[in-house]
Every structure is written in C-alpha cells, then in structure tokens.
C-alpha cells in the first residue's frame, strides 16, 4: 500500500539527494540517529549505547510522546517474577498460544515466539534501568486500568473463554509502579537512563526530510530546529505541554494550541543536518493526529477521541515513504469502548441501532470497539434493567475507581440515559425496532437461565437475566461527548522482523533506515490489548538499536528478508 501520495507540503518533504556523505555540510554527526524520543526511541538508544555506538536522539518536542501519556502498562509474561509472586505459573508457550489468537498473523510465528520468549528478560531489562514493577492484583473482577496500589492484572481477553486456549490464563499487564498514570513514571526512568548512558539529545527539532546518497542509502536527516533557549522555543514548549495536559478535557482548544505550535515551527525554525554513520531509526509514533492520513486510510475513525500525543502525526511513516518504504495495516485503528468499570456493566447487553445484539460484552474494550466502529457505524446502546443499573451506580460511586472511569459512567447512567417501563417503551425512546430488541433480550435471558446457548460466548459469570423494569439504554456511541470513544492507529512501516530495517516495495531493506514502535508494523498492529504497544516498543526498539549498532565500521551486509 503506497502512502506517499497527498502528503502535507508544509512538513515532511522529499529526500535530499546527494552524491555521498562527504558532499554535504553536516551540522552534527553520530553513529546512530534516533528520530522520536518516546519509549521505542529510548529503548533503541539504550541498546545502541550498550553496544558502544555514539547515539543522538532527536524529538520535535522535549520527549515522551504518547508513551509518557499512557498508563505505563507493559504486557509481559512467560513467568515474570511478579507473576510468580502473585501465584501464577505462566510460560512462554501459554503466552504465545494466547497472543496468536489476538495478533492474527500480523507478524510471523517466529517473531511472536521470540517476543514471548524474550518477555521476561525485557521486563528485567526495564527494571535494570530503574522502571519498577510489582505483583499486587486488584480485587474484584475485570478493570480497564487498576487503582493505585495494584500493579498486575488481566489486561486483555485472557479470562474470556472464546479467546483462551488449552493452557491456563495468567495476568500479564504489568503497570509501572507509581501514583497516577504510570506512563510518565516509566518514561522518566527511560529518559534518565538514556542521558546517564551518554546519549545526546536534540530537542524541538522536527524531522523534515531524509538525506540519501546516489545509491539510495539513508545518510541522515534534515531537521528544522527552534533556537535553543529562545522565547519562541519557550513558548513552543509551553503550548505543546498545555495541549497534552488538557487533551482529555478540551480537545478543540488543544487543536488550536497545536496550530500555534506548528506556526511557531514554520516561522522560527531553522535547518540543521545530522549525519548518521550507521543508520537512522524512526520512532515517532502513529498518525492519529494526522487528519489527512486518517481520511485516506481509516475514515471510519475520524470522529473518535484521539489517544496519543501531538507528535503522533505520521511523520515517521511519511519519512519512510519518502524513500520507498511501504505501509501496512494503515487501516487498522484500535477503538476503545470499555464496559468496565463499573464491573456490572458487562452483564448487560450491547445492541446496535436496530436493537440487535452484536458482541460479547465482557471482552476487552478494543475488542468491543472494533466491531462497533467497523460494522455498526459507531452507534450502539448498553441495555440494563433496574437492578443492574442500581448495582452499577453503586460500583461507580463507591468502587474506588479512577475519576476517568467513574464520572463518565455515572453521567451515562444518570443524565444521558433513555428509559422505558417496558422493552417496547425503551425501543420507542431510542428508535429501535421493538421486536428486534425484545428478541435480543430474550435470547440473552435464556442463555443466562441456562435454557439456551449463549449466542456470543459470554461466560456463565458474565450473564444476567434482564427482566425487571424499568429498562435503560445508555448511549455508548462514538458521537456521545459524555463518554468519549478513544482510538489510536496500529499500522506502520513494513520492516524486516529480525532487524527492524524498513522494507521497500520489493521487500528489500532500505539501507540505513530502521523503524520501531508504532512507526513500524509490529506485534499490536492487528488488535490492541493494554500493555502490548509499550512491550513492543521495548522489543522493537531494542531490536533496531542492536541491529544498527552492530553495523559500526562494517560494510552494509544483506539483511534477512522476512516478508509476510
């Protein structure tokens, strides 16, 4: 799939073609140049430094990206010491068996097996750089994100019968220890480790174009940098930080802040060329904040709340495409419609605009959000009866959940709810087909009583008879501003799965160019589960950093091609 057409002319530009590395003026040189200082970039830099490379990390802002805004959950298994302390005997085989179901061959089986086999070591590697993890598990049932004090949980569909395999399930969501969202904690440790290891940083530097020689080898990057310490650079940093901080509360206002940030870059940034003697690693994140790329590849997700950071603008993807890199899975977007907490919500049923049930309500939020967006046009209702609604309200009020879990749920059940004394009245209040809604509820009730098979594979513990009116319909559609339906992009540049080298249309490695994290196709590029993206940042970042660093002082060698 080509991604080089119709790109914005104001940022990423066609590559600068030069005869060779000696025929151009370089403002700075290094062995390994990492573009994007989030989790993947930090891991790539640390790995390259460990092998003796001179590393420079460049970032359009001051580092962190989506990783610093995340929950700091790393999907790790196969027998971590925290799993063992919690009483679980997980194995790489069990982890592989589960992830095969979730990833659906988005990477080769060999790569997925290596990801599972390396999982314990990669978590220990993070700990060696200061990131803390622990084994306390939250009480009760499923949760989209555990409360403070709890750091190990089932972060995907491990407990859902249809998603499990013959081996026992295990919790693999390792939340970075700290108060609040753990992503800031994790990134702070990675950033400090990079600086301690001797990696150099070039901040407020937007990558505009790659520099390539006559043979097509990537030699470096031309950045446009704001003058260090200038009033424009200080304003740029303040506006960018405010946009990240307020995104959840005022996305429209934050878009205006981002427009001012872009204007500052256009007006005051100046070019700076950096030579990478051994290779460039692209790790700038996804493209959820690039309207044009969303329109082109995933138009169904334009209305979703954007999960990510301002730097998730597809710059890595576009830089790679400018020299022949190929995107894959660009239509794949993870849409998050969590029905927990409150824990009781998943015992209701989710129906479409007609009143027809279409999913297993106890699945992970992204597993539910996918058919909601792809098949139902982003429109759906959560159906509860009176006892289930009362129980869910009590859970939201007194369950000790995060504000971002309890407040929207309460608003949805108390103020943005449709009500009917009977199912027929509820259908009238929501413009559903009364016969279709009635059939959906009766079929779910029959399964809950054990009188019929469960149509969508919900576990026995997740079923409940809904027969005590009044009945309620909570609007869980993408258009409901009270209950945002978040989304992030999953696809990226096609890479060699043994090295992270970016591949061209013929499946050949583009010399000197690598990608990691969400700039690359990777483990979570089919369907997201909590922690899988950060875990892949570690896996793919370390892979790229090691591959580039190994090439120091050596002529370019053929890279093993592993094309799906």
* Residue ranges in the chain whose pLDDT is less than 50: 1-9, 553-564
The whole-number pLDDT of residue 312 equals 96
The whole-number pLDDT of residue 551 equals 67
The whole-number pLDDT of residue 141 equals 66
Exposure on the CB side of residue 227, measured as CA atoms within 13 A? 5
CA distance to 334, 421, 434, per residue, from 370 (Å): 7, 32, 26
Which residue in the block uniquely carries the two structure tokens 């001012």? 260
DSSP secondary structure code for residue 510 in this structure = E
Burial of residue 217, with CB atoms counted within 10 A of its CB: 0-12 exposed, 13-18 middle, 19 or more buried: middle
Could you tell me the two tokens for 268? 């005051």
Could you tell me the two tokens for 267? 């007006």
Q: How far apart are CA 76 and CA 120, in angstroms?
A: 7
Question: Three-state SS for 515?
Answer: strand
Q: How far apart are CA 307 and CA 71, in angstroms?
A: 12
Q: How far apart are CA 243 and CA 296, in angstroms?
A: 25
CA distance to 326, 497, 501, per residue, from 563 (Å): 12, 8, 12
The whole-number pLDDT of residue 405 equals 87
Could you tell me the two tokens for 315? 């710059």
Q: For the chain, which domains are there?
A: 16-70+193-226+269-334+488-549 (3.50.50.60), 73-175 (no CATH), 338-475 (3.90.700.10)
User: pLDDT tens digit string along 515-557?
Assistant: 999 999 999 999 999 999 999 999 999 999 999 998 654 433 3
Roughly what angle, to the nearest 10 degrees, separates helices 183-197 and 39-50? 30
Could you tell me the two tokens for 447? 């399964």
Q: Give Cβ neighbours of residue 126 (< 8 Å, ≥ 6 apart).
A: 74, 133, 186, 189, 538
Cross-strand pairs, 421: none
Q: How far apart are CA 363 and CA 263, in angstroms?
A: 43
User: pLDDT tens digit string along 391-432?
Assistant: 999 999 998 888 888 899 999 999 889 999 999 999 999 999
Question: Three-state SS for 472?
Answer: strand
Contact status, residue 355 vs residue 440, Cβ threshold 8 Å? yes
DSSP secondary structure code for residue 511 in this structure = E
Could you tell me the two tokens for 335? 């849409």
Cross-strand pairs, 174: 74, 152
Other C-beta atoms closer than 10 Å to the C-beta of 91 total: 15
Question: Three-state SS for 336?
Answer: strand
CA 87-160-526 angle, to 5 degrees, is 105
Helix ranges (H only) for 129-200 are 183-197
Q: How far apart are CA 373 and CA 291, in angstroms?
A: 17
443 φ, ψ to 5°?
-65, -40
DSSP for 193-235?
A: HHHHHT-EEE-SEEEEEEEE-TT--EEEEEEEEPPTT-HHHHH
Which residue in the block uniquely carries the two structure tokens 């997980």? 90
Burial of residue 248, with CB atoms counted within 10 A of its CB: 0-12 exposed, 13-18 middle, 19 or more buried: middle
237 φ, ψ to 5°?
-65, -40
Contact status, residue 235 vs residue 251, Cβ threshold 8 Å? no
Residue 113: name the closest of 450, 539, 463 by CA.
539
Per-state percent for the chain, helix, strand, coil, to nearest 5: 35, 15, 45
CA distance to 2, 65, 66, 522, per residue, from 327 (Å): 7, 21, 20, 12
User: What element of type H or E holds 268?
Assistant: helix 251-268
Contact status, residue 346 vs residue 462, Cβ threshold 8 Å? yes
**pTM of this structure:** 0.94
492-493 and 349-351 beta bridge pairing: unpaired
111 φ, ψ to 5°?
-65, -45
Torsion sign, CA atoms 398, 402, 405, 406: positive
DSSP for 248-265?
A: TT-HHHHHHHHHHHHHHH
Q: How far apart are CA 268 and CA 28, in angstroms?
A: 20
């Amino acid at each position: 799939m080509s991604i080089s057409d119709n790109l914005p002319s104001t940022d990423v530009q066609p590559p600068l073609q030069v005869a060779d590395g000696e025929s151009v003026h370089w403002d700075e040189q290094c062995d390994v140049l990492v573009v994007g200082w989030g989790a993947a970039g930090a891991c790539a830099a640390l790995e390259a430094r460990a092998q003796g490379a001179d590393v420079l990390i460049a970032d359009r802002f001051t580092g962190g990206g989506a990783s610093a805004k995340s929950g700091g959950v790393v999907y790790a298994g196969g027998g971590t010491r925290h799993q063992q302390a919690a009483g679980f005997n997980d194995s790489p085989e069990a982890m592989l068996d589960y992830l095969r179901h979730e990833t659906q061959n988005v990477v080769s089986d060999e790569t997925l097996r290596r990801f599972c086999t390396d999982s314990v070591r990669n978590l220990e590697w993070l700990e060696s750089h200061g990131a803390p993890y622990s084994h306390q598990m939250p009480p009760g049932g499923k949760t989209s994100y555990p409360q403070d004090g709890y750091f190990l949980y089932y972060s995907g569909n491990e407990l859902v019968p249809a998603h499990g395999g013959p081996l026992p399930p295990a919790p693999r969501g390792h939340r970075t220890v700290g108060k609040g969202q753990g992503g800031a904690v994790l990134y702070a440790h990675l950033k400090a480790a990079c600086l301690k290891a001797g990696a150099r940083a070039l901040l407020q530097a937007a990558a505009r174009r790659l520099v390539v020689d006559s043979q097509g080898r990537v030699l470096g990057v031309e950045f446009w940098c704001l003058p260090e310490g200038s009033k424009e650079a200080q304003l740029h940093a303040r506006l960018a930080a405010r946009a990240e901080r307020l995104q959840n509360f005022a996305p429209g206002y934050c878009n205006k802040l981002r427009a001012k940030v872009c204007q500052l870059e256009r007006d005051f940034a100046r070019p700076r060329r950096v030579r990478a003697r051994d290779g460039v690693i692209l790790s700038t994140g996804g493209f959820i904040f690039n309207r044009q790329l969303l329109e082109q590849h995933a138009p169904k997700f334009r209305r979703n709340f954007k999960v990510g950071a301002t730097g998730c603008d597809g710059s890595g993807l576009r830089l790679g495409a400018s020299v022949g890199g190929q995107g894959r899975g660009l239509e794949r977007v993870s849409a998050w419609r969590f029905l927990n907490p409150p824990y009781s919500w998943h015992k209701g049923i989710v129906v479409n605009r007609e009143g027809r049930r279409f999913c297993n309500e106890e699945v992970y939020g992204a597993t539910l959000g996918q058919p909601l967006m792809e098949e139902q046009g982003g429109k759906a209702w959560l159906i509860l009866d009176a006892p289930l609604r009362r129980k869910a309200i009590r859970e939201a009020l007194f369950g000790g959940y995060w504000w971002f879990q309890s407040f929207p749920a309460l608003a949805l059940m108390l103020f943005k709810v449709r009500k009917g004394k009977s199912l027929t009245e509820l259908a009238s209040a929501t413009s559903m087909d009364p016969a279709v809604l009635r059939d959906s509820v009766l079929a779910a009730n029959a399964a809950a009583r054990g009188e019929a098979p469960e149509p969508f594979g919900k576990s026995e513990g997740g079923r409940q008879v809904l027969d005590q009116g009044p009945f309620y319909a909570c609007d869980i559609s993408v258009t409901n501003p009270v209950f945002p339906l978040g989304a992030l992009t999953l696809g990226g540049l096609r890479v060699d799965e043994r090295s992270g080298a970016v591949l061209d249309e013929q499946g050949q490695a583009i010399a000197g160019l690598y990608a990691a994290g969400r700039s690359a196709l990777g483990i979570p590029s089919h369907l997201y589960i909590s922690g899988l993206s950060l875990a892949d940042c570690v896996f793919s970042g370390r892979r790229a950093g090691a591959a580039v660093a190994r090439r120091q002082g050596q002529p370019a060698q053929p890279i093993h091609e592993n094309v799906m």
